[in-house]
Chains A and B, each alone.
Chain A
Amino acid sequence: EVRLVESGGALVQPGGSLRLSCAASGFTFSNYWMGWVRQAPGIGLEWVANMKQDGSEKHYVDSVEGRFTISRDNAKNSLYLQMNSLRAEDSALYYCARDLISASCCYGMDVWGQGTTVTVSS
C-alpha cells in the first residue's frame, strides 16, 4: 500500500522552530518529487514547498522562503520540513504529498498523508 505518514507537529511559541517528518512506504520514494501543503483551520489549501527526487531543486512559497527548509533522505524514504522563526500565521495542518508522475514535476499530487498539526501561539 502506498502511504505517507507525517509527524512532528506540535504547539510552539512564536519565533520557535519545529521539524516535520514524512515517512513514505509502498513506492520507490527516490523516484518522485515530494512536497508540503498546508491548510489553516477553516481555510483553503496553500502549497508550501517541494523538492526534486535528488534534492537538486527546491521551491518555496514566498511567505516561508528563508524560514523553512525542505529536505529528504532517500535511504530512509523520508521527507522533512524544518520550520524556523515560526509565526502565528504558520499555524495549520501540514500535509506531505507525492507528485503524480515518477521523475516529473508537477502534474498534481496523487498521494497525501493524513497531516500533522502545527500551532504557533504563546
Chain B
Amino acid sequence: DIQMTQSPSSVSASVGDRVTITCRASQDISTLLAWYQQKPGKAPKLLIYTASSLQSGVPSRFSGSGSGTDFTLTISSLQPEDFATYYCQHSKSFPLTFGGGTKVEIK
C-alpha cells in the first residue's frame, strides 16, 4: 500500500500569511493526488485534483504542485475561512489512502 505523510501536522498562521503544506508519497504516484479541506462538523471539500488542477469554485489563492513523491498545497494569502484541516489523498492504486491531515490554526 502507498503511504501518504503530511507535514506539518499543524501550523499556526495569521490572516494574510502564505501557508504551505507538504504531502509525501511512499512511492511514485505521478500526479494522482487530491487535496481536501475539512472544517469541524462538515464533510471534506475537494480543492485540488491531479496535483495542480483547481476544483471549480475554489478560490485561486489555493494552488497545488508536485509530481512523483513530493507535493505541496499553498494558500497564498490566508483568509479567516481557511482555518481548517487539510488532507491529501493519492489515487495511484487501491487502497486510496489519505494523509494524516494538517490543521491550520489561528496564530
Which A residues form the contact surface with B (CB < 8 A)?
37, 44-47, 50, 59-62, 95, 100, 105-110, 112-115
A95: B residues at CB distance < 8 A: 43-44
A109: B residues at CB distance < 8 A: 34, 44, 46
A99 closest partner in B (C-beta): B91
26 A-B pairs whose Cβ atoms sit less than 8 Å apart in the complex: A37-B44, A44-B100, A45-B38, A45-B98, A46-B98, A47-B96, A50-B96, A59-B94, A59-B95, A60-B95, A62-B1, A62-B95, A95-B44, A100-B46, A106-B96, A107-B34, A107-B49, A108-B34, A108-B46, A108-B49, A108-B55, A108-B89, A109-B34, A109-B44, A110-B55, A115-B43
B95 x A113 contact (CB < 8 A): no
Q: Considering the chains assembled together, what is the distance between the CA atoms of A62 and B48 in angstroms? A: 26
State how many angstroms separate the Cβ of B2 from the closest Cβ of chain A.
11
B34: A residues at CB distance < 8 A: 107-109
Q: B7 near A: Cβ within 8 Å? A: no
